[in-house]
Amino acid sequence: MYQAPEYDMAPRLSGRRRRLWVALLLGTATVAYNGWLLEFLLPTGLDPRHSYVSELYAADQPFQALFSGIEVTCALLVTAGALLARSTLPGRLAGTGCWALIAFAAFSVADTIVPMRCAPSVEPSCEAVNPWHTTTSALVHFAIFSSMALLSAAARAERPGMPLIHRWGPWMLSCSMVAAVATVGPLFGGPGWHGVPQRVHLTLVGTWFALLAVALVRLPTHHESADRTPTAARIPRPTQTASTNSAVT
């Protein structure tokens, strides 16, 4: 009697395992990127309402090593997650969005290499605009906004889609951009209360990483998509019974 061929599910399981790793990495990055919350437990001497988060790792601050280390750790997590996601997500837009995440991580590390010299919120003589640090911070923002725009577009245009990113990605982009713009007061001589919108912005970026993690876990394998198109994930594996019947014939 002919027995239906078994299918080798190893490639599909490997893809699922990869997505779970991406979700774990980006989920951990969500926590690390909001490591600034430790300022409420540590005697930093900075007022969160009127200080930039980057002042926490300014060169002369007591917890500079701690907060710089958290920033670098987050960058490594995002880089690893984006590289894995790039091999999981289909399409050019999604791939470019993953590269934008990698650029975000690289510029975040650069942010810690050229930190603010001091904390302008508590030192009137300290300059609010450090040319190198301001440049790297601007590039960090450009990269994260690019990732939101590209991956949101990919979620809409490419298949299999990511409904969570399609629905919430544009909102995340709009809200985080508004929050980021609201932090530039000190750069133009208008200090005060810029710390609140910046922390809102950082919370939104962390939420973006969490959203990507959940969306990737829910991403269907190709054979589970609506069109049910067969793929290389289903590789026929002949059974012993089938081989015997073939020989008899």
Q: Can you give the pTM of this predicted structure? A: 0.81
The CA-atom distances, in angstroms, between 72 and each of 66, 143, 160, 193, 224 are 10, 16, 32, 27, 37
Taken as a whole, the chain contains a residue count of 249
User: pLDDT tens digit string along 196-221?
Assistant: 999 999 999 999 999 999 998 887 65
The CA-atom distances, in angstroms, between 171 and each of 78, 148, 188, 208, 212 are 21, 10, 27, 10, 14
User: What tokens were used for 49?
Assistant: 């309402």
User: pLDDT tens digit string along 57-72?
Assistant: 999 999 999 999 999 9
Assess whether pLDDT exceeds 60 at residue 126. yes
Assess whether pLDDT exceeds 70 at residue 174. yes
pLDDT band at 132 (very low <50, low <70, confident <90, very high): very high
Question: Nearest to residue 102, comparing CAs of 152, 144, 165, 150?
Answer: 144
